[in-house]
Structure 1
Amino acid sequence: MDIRLEETRSGGRYVATIDGHEAEMTYSRTSPKLIIIDHTGVPDALRGKGVGQALALHAVEEARRGGWKIIPLCPFFKAQAARHEDWRDVISG
């Protein structure tokens, strides 16, 4: 699955486009070393295909590479983080 990053000055989003449908995970950057994941949106056409999970894992891998932490405000991401103890190295709060 190809996931791309779209950045703005104060945050950004990870986007996966599959069969013409777009799923996203948005975040706000509070500092160079901390982001807040605040929303995951997966259209009905992509539900059950692991797209949300792939976006969450991508965010975790990016945090590890970038040396930053994630505050999980998004209910979906927060639930995924609770299921994955191996993500605790990048989860804050």
Structure 2
Amino acid sequence: MEIKEGKNRFYVTDAAGHEIGEVTYSAVRDSVLSIDHTVVDPQYRGRQIAQQLIKAVVDKAVGDHKQIIPACSYAKAQFARVKDYQQIEFKG
């Protein structure tokens, strides 16, 4: 499975090209992104797809010198678990 980038989102497709997971984000300010929604098809859960999608947004934010607001519940949980993510979390 390959993570692909779309407009304000990253997503994953299965071998047949069907979308099986996505994370969406929006620009809150020039230097801040908000992770709005993370979803993975139930039959693909447990394969760390959602974690990889969150990491894709984090890597983008780091590369673009931006901070993140983890607005969706899954993103909040990941930011609480992964100490490195907390360094780019917007606290403002």
TM class, shorter-length: 0.7 to 0.9
State percent identity of aligned pairs. 33
Query: What root-mean-square deviation, in Å, do the aligned CA atoms of Structure 1 and Structure 2 show?
Result: 1.3
Alignment gaps of 5+ in structure 1: none
Could you give the per-residue CA deviations for residues 24-55 of structure 1, whole angstroms, max 9, x where no partner exists?
A: 00111112211110110101121011100000
Choose from 10, 13, 24 the match for 2:9. Answer: 13
Contact 2:12-2:22 within 8 A present in 1 as well: yes
Choose from 29, 32, 37 the match for 2:30. Answer: 32
Runs of 4 or more above 6 Å deviation: none
Deviation at 1:21, TM superposition (A): 3.9
Alignment gaps of 5+ in structure 2: none
Q: TM-score, normalised on structure 2?
A: 0.88
Aligned length: 89
2:2 aligned partner: 2
